[in-house]
């Protein structure tokens, strides 16, 4: 996994700290749900930058600024590990982040790459994501670094994020947009499709219906959380007795997030707090 070097300090206390999850909006809740199901003993602090979503239309310097502001927010909250759920942040910001945090930082790109290479039968892999993620070609580069002969076909799907943020999960408009985007892959004969944005698993049923059941859908959220379980064990950071809590923060529209988040997680989010991320200075080199 792509991450920042971590030097454990005072592991006994750190093991009781929550895992931080950061996303540009509600999409990172796909990772929170995996943590709740697969690591039920772990607490979570979630931050969604709902005031500035989507990140996929922003420039690299802007994404880097927003991401580093988020990391500074987590610095003030006390976490033992940060998962950057946003593919755009993982591709445009994570490689440039400064070392020296009190916690390791991991993105979603490498887990998705590994899973795609594991499941593809014919080596023809599709990738969908925001314009920024697709333009970075990070998935193509990482896939070919591990298996040079693989063929990669990538297309941006910029309307998916706003549709999901609006809650149009099973709406006819979403189906029409998905068909318009995903028809691009028909001539390529792919057998695997990377959902290169953590929002996209929320419309997995729509994507599967349009792309066909013969195409394996790769959800990096699930793969990431399973890798994180191993990381927690290696670093001796598993929570074995601390109290369990879930905290949710957004930069705008907390009530809308609470409504959508409760629906996506299948359990009530009782409280969502609003934060001003512009108050946090970036930690760029």
Catalytic residues: 86, 197
Cβ neighbour number for residue 136 with a 10 Å cutoff:
21
Q: What is the spatial distance between Cα 136 and Cα 267, in angstroms, rounded to a whole number? A: 36
Q: What is the spatial distance between Cα 143 and Cα 19, in angstroms, rounded to a whole number? A: 28
Q: Are 253 and 50 in contact (CB under 8 A)?
A: yes
**3-class DSSP state of 249:** strand
Q: What is the spatial distance between Cα 59 and Cα 57, in angstroms, rounded to a whole number? A: 7
Q: Which two tokens stand for residue 282?
A: 């970036």
21: β partners: 46, 83
Write out the DSSP string of 123-185: SEEEEEE-HHHHHHTHHHHHHHHH-TT-EEEEEE-TTHHHHHHTT-TT-HHHHHHHHHHHGGG
């Amino acid at each position: 996994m792509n991450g920042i070097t971590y030097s454990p300090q005072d592991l006994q206390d750190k093991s009781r700290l929550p895992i931080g999850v950061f996303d540009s909006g509600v999409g990172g809740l796909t990772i929170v749900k995996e943590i709740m199901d697969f690591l039920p003993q772990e607490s979570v602090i979630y931050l969604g930058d709902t005031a500035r979503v989507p990140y996929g239309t922003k420039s690299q310097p802007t994404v880097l600024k927003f991401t580093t502001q988020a990391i500074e927010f987590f610095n003030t909250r006390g976490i033992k590990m940060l998962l950057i759920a946003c593919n755009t942040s993982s591709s445009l910001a994570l490689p440039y982040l400064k070392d020296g945090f009190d916690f390791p930082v991991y993105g979603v790109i490498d887990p998705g790459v590994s899973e795609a290479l594991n499941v593809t039968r014919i080596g023809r892999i599709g990738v969908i994501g925001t314009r920024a993620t697709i333009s970075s070609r990070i998935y193509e580069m990482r896939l070919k670094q591990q298996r040079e002969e693989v063929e990669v076909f990538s297309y941006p799907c910029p309307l998916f994020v706003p549709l999901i943020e609006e809650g149009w999960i099973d709406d006819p408009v979403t189906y029409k947009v998905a068909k318009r985007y995903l028809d691009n892959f028909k001539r390529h004969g792919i057998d695997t499709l990377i959902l290169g944005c953590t929002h996209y698993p929320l419309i997995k049923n729509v994507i599967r219906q349009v792309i066909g059941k013969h195409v394996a859908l790769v959800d990096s959220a699930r793969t990431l959380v399973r890798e994180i379980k191993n990381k927690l064990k290696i670093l001796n950071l598993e929570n074995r007795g601390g109290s369990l809590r879930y905290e949710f923060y957004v930069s705008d529209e907390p009530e809308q997030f609470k409504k959508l988040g409760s629906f996506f997680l299948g359990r009530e989010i009782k409280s969502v707090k609003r934060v001003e991320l512009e108050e946090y200075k970036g930690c760029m080199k």
